Amino acid sequence: SAVDLRDATICDCMVGDGVRINGVRSALAGYEIGRGARLIDIGTMTYRAGTTAGNGVRVAAVNENGGRAVPLFDGLTAQTAHLMVFHRHRTETLRGDRATVCGATLLQNGTILSQPEAPTEVGVGVMARDFILAPGARVVDGAFIERCFVGESCLVEQGFTAIDCLLFANGM
């Protein structure tokens, strides 16, 4: 289906069918935007080739001293994180369909996974750096996340700040 582009500065992006982009105030650059995604009222959303889109960023969620950091990756589960932290001696992004980004202030070095049956949403005033959002995650209403994994169906809202956090399925 047709792409709807309005009032946006777009550079070096691949845009899927049925995408709506409206009101990019500064820049949208370097992204592959999945089919049916909506990007509305965004300050800046940039991705540079060679960056990890949140993958590989280490989060010291279990130990504030950083000794047992978990690397973020777009397939991270609670079980995998547990094995990495507590059994580390035994262990061996970028955007999905139907994702909605509307009014975000800053999205930097992140992955937004989304599926038609579990759309992911990033809302007004959100600032996110070094992150991965699982399908169905909602980060809205001025939330700030840095070095975070936000799991399936998790809700981060109302100005909540999360740094070095792993939020798993159905959490908030």
Coil/strand/helix, residue 81: helix
Q: What is the pLDDT of residues 24-51, one digit of tens each?
A: 999 899 988 999 999 999 999 988 888 8
Coil/strand/helix, residue 35: coil
Mean pLDDT of the chain: 84
How many angstroms separate the CA atoms of 28 and 130, rounded? 17
Q: Among all chains, which residue has been given the structure tokens 């955007």? A: 95
Residues 6+ apart with CB under 8 A from 149: 59, 70, 72, 76, 81, 131, 132, 134, 165, 166, 167, 168
What is the pLDDT at residue 91?
36
Cα–Cα distances in Å, from 125 out to 1, 142, 160, 163?
Answer: 29, 4, 11, 17
pTM of the model: 0.58
